[in-house]
């Protein structure tokens, strides 16, 4: 379509504004002191008619939410998305419009620019609008995630965040053809919104070292150990520069993640999820994703330096030598410290295969989540040193599922994985209610549970992305664990079912106030 005759000039002069319809499009014609203009009549915010707006000079205000558009420049002065405008000319008393379609590449570039602005503004409605527009342009909507990763890359002060850790799981939903379009778009919206939140306000000033060094696994591990980000990044760049990834790259990343009981298990979870993310989106996201991971590994808090977890490394290093081998028993973990839990499994090591110990630990971690003491989790009485919540319990499962990838890449990592799982179980064991009635949470099988849980997570009511990220991560971790450890499946699924329906609290302001009063009183 090119130039077409749409209206009489005198009619527009008399009315001031007119709406014409062409091929299903509503177009607004406006007569201003600065000339005539033609725009889409649907406001790019929520679609209300701009013909009902207020005109002041050349500025048109949509009266629904006060977005303002400069008709002469096309700029959106207040609000977000751009207003579509059409070239206009007057000929022999008639108004003609050029309705030639904008080339798809140009429209796509505009949508991607809008998406980046929406990330910057943390405007989730617009993130979804622009992603939906990508789909209408014939571009894969998942490309929005690639754009978000690239945009976030230099804004991640401490590397990988929880937003990244949830991406592969949300992408599983996005790729599920049995789900309705809104649920699949919602999954992308969770990714984009969470990335936008995690880097909120950060300037693009946290770029990575650019030097490339020849890949060497031992040097990489040493660099992470001494918190030398520049060298770790240089070595990773060297690995990525090879025509094919070095065969030991994944195993080395897992080894780095498990070298300490680090960051409440995030190091391992981030490593597994980063590799899965690259597997889903392709090698073009490998560099931003892996460099962010290297930074996260460098910055990870080494919790095994704390007294409670200090036995981790000695027990790992002596794993295959320790003494008696009592029978495996998940009940043994119900009330233990981290030290005791590590001692228990170290005693099992000589005569029980790692996978069998893993199964017992998974059962124990799931039992804890199933019996989490909710009144205590919500209590204002928690001490600063406790501060335990629902998400802490889920980490036993998400960490275990992430560990399956680690030991598949390198079976020598079993002791590290098992001992760290024991640490989780030890730290959570004080906050369970063994008498809790758990029958209501039992489920009848993996597939019915997955169908029901998918409905829940795609229609969750969580205000904070950190919670929805844990819902989706725990759900898929549970499915993986139920398949890998069938004996633990009933407890794993029941525990996850309970968590998915738990009344999660975003904040506990009175507890925080109480903790700060106590802290300041002892300064």
Q: Which is nearer to ligand FES, 54 or 412 (CB)?
A: 54
How many Cβ atoms from other residues are within 10 Å of residue 318's Cβ? 12
Q: At 373, list the tokens.
A: 């003491």
Q: Which stretch binds ligand FES (CB under 6 A): 42-50, 106-114, 132-140, 258-266?
A: 42-50
Give the residue, chosen from 27, 28, 29, 43, that forms a contact with ligand FES under the rule CB under 6 A: 43
Q: In sequence order, what DSSP letters do the residues of 228-261 get, joined into one string?
A: -HHHHHHHHHHHHHSSS--TTHHHHHHHHHHSS-
Q: How far apart are CA 348 and CA 363, in angstroms?
A: 16
Task: Order the strands of the 59-61 sheet from edge to edge.
Answer: 54-56, 59-61, 68-70, 76-78
Check the CA dihedral 509-511-515-518 and report its sign: positive
Number of residues assigned to the chain: 523
x/- string (CB under 6 A) for ligand FES, residues 336-355?
--------------------
- Which C-beta is closer to ligand FES: that of 78 or that of 305? 78
Q: Which stretch binds ligand FES (CB under 6 A): 45-53, 142-150, 349-357, 393-401?
A: 45-53
Q: How far is the CB of 64 from ligand FES (least distance, A)?
A: 4
Count of residues near ligand FES by CB under 6 A: 9
Stretch that binds ligand FES, among 24-32, 39-47, 232-240, 313-321 (CB under 6 A): 39-47
Looking only at residues 186 through 245 of this chain, which bind ligand FES when binding is defined by CB under 6 A?
none
- Packing angle of the helix pair 266-281, 286-299 (nearest 10 deg): 180
Output 46 or 317, the one with its CB closest to ligand FES.
46
Q: Which is nearer to ligand FES, 64 or 299 (CB)?
A: 64
**With contact defined as beta carbons under 8 Å apart, do 369 and 496 qualify?**
yes
Backbone dihedral angles phi then psi of residue 329, each to the nearest 5 degrees: -160, 105
Task: Say whether residue 48 binds ligand FES (CB under 6 A).
Answer: yes
Angle subtended at Cα 73 by Cα 71 and Cα 75, rounded to the nearest 5 degrees: 85
* Minimum gap (Å) between residue 39 Cβ and ligand FES: 12
Q: Which of 195, 361, 358 is nearest to 292 (CA)?
A: 195
Q: What is the DSSP letter of 373?
A: -
60 versus 369: smaller Cβ distance to ligand FES: 60
Neighbour-count burial of 95, counting CB atoms closer than 10 A to its CB (0-12 exposed, 13-18 middle, 19+ buried) = buried
Of the two residues 48 and 299, which places its CB atom closer to ligand FES in the complex?
48
Stretch that binds ligand FES, among 40-48, 145-153, 288-296, 431-439 (CB under 6 A): 40-48
Candidates 24-32, 41-49, 177-185, 281-289; binding stretch for ligand FES (CB under 6 A):
41-49
- Are the beta carbons of 50 and 43 closer than 8 angstroms? yes
Vertex 408: Cα angle to 402 and 412 (nearest 5): 100
Measured CA to CA, the distance from residue 407 to residue 419 in angstroms comes to 13
Residue 241 Cβ vs ligand FES, minimum distance, rounded to whole Å: 48
Give the DSSP letter string of 58-77: TEEE-TTT--EEETTT--EE
CB of 67 to ligand FES, least distance (A): 4
Q: Give the residue with the Cβ less far from ligand FES, 65 or 335.
A: 65
Q: Which is nearer to ligand FES, 55 or 347 (CB)?
A: 55
Rounded to 5°, angle at Cα 200 from 195 and 397 = 40
Nearer to ligand FES, 85 or 310 (CB): 85
- The nearest distance, CB 101 to ligand FES, in angstroms, is 24
What string marks each residue from 108 to 147 as x (binds ligand FES by CB under 6 A) or -? ----------------------------------------
Interface positions, 49-88, toward ligand FES (CB under 6 A): 62, 64-65, 67, 79
Smallest separation, CB 130 to ligand FES (Å): 16
Any idea what the Cα angle at residue 219 is, between residues 216 and 220, rounded to 5°? 80
H helical segments located in 318-389: 338-348, 354-370, 374-378
CB of 63 to ligand FES, least distance (A): 8
Q: Of the candidates 45, 260, 316, 352, which one interacts with ligand FES according to CB under 6 A?
A: 45
Query: Please, which residue, 35 or 47, has the CB nearer to ligand FES?
Result: 47
Question: Which residues on neighbouring strands pair with residue 20, listed in sequence order?
Answer: 27
Interface with ligand FES (CB under 6 A): 43, 45-46, 48, 62, 64-65, 67, 79
């Amino acid at each position: 379509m090119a130039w077409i005759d749409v209206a009489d000039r005198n009619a527009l002069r008399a009315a001031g504004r007119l709406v014409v319809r062409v091929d299903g499009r509503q177009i607004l014609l406006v007569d201003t002191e600065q000339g005539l203009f033609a725009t889409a009549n649907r406001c790019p915010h929520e679609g209300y008619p701009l013909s009902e707006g207020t005109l002041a000079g050349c500025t048109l205000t949509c009266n629904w939410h006060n977005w303002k558009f400069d008709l002469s420049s096309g700029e959106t002065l207040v609000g977000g998305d751009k207003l579509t405008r059409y070239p206009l000319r007057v000929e022999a008393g008639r108004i003609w419009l050029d309705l030639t379609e904008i080339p798809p590449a140009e429209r796509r570039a505009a949508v991607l620019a809008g998406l980046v602005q929406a990330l910057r503004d943390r405007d989730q409605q617009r993130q979804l609008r622009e992603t939906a527009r990508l789909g209408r342009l014939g571009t894969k909507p998942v490309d929005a995630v690639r754009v978000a990763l690239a945009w976030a890359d230099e804004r991640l002060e401490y590397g990988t965040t929880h937003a990244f850790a949830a991406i592969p799981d949300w992408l599983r939903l996005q790729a599920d053809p049995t789900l309705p379009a809104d649920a699949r778009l919602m999954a992308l919206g969770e990714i984009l919104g969470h990335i936008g939140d995690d880097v909120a306000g950060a300037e693009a000033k946290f770029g990575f070292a650019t030097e490339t060094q020849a890949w060497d696994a031992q040097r990489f591990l040493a660099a992470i150990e001494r918190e030398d980000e520049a060298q770790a990044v240089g070595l990773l760049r060297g690995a990525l520069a090879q025509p094919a990834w070095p065969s030991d790259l994944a195993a080395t990343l897992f080894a780095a993640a498990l070298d300490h009981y680090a960051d409440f298990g995030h190091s391992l979870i981030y490593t597994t999820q980063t590799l899965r993310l690259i597997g889903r989106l392709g090698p073009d996201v490998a560099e931003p994703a892996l460099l962010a991971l290297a930074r996260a590994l460098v910055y990870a808090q080494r919790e095994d330096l704390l007294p409670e977890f200090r036995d981790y490394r000695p027990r790992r290093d002596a794993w295959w030598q320790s003494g008696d081998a009592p029978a495996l028993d998940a009940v043994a973990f119900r009330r233990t410290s981290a030290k005791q839990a590590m001692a228990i499994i170290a005693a099992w090591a000589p005569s029980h295969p790692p996978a069998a110990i893993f199964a017992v630990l998974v059962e124990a971690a799931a039992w804890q989540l199933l019996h989490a003491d909710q009144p205590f989790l919500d209590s204002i009485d928690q001490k600063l040193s406790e501060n335990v919540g629902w998400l802490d319990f889920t980490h036993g499962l998400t960490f275990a599922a992430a560990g399956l990838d680690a030991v598949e890449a390198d079976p020598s990592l079993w002791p590290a994985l098992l001992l760290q799982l024991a640490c989780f179980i030890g730290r959570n064991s004080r906050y369970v209610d063994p008498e809790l009635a758990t029958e209501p949470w039992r489920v009848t099988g993996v597939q019915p549970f997955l169908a029901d849980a998918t409905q829940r997570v795609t229609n969750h009511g969580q205000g904070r992305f950190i919670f929805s990220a844990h819902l989706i991560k725990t759900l898929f971790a549970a499915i993986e664990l139920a398949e890998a450890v069938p004996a633990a499946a009933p407890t794993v699924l029941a525990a996850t079912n309970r968590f998915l329906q738990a009344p999660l609290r975003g904040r506990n302001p009175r507890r925080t106030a109480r903790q700060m009063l106590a802290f300041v009183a002892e300064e």
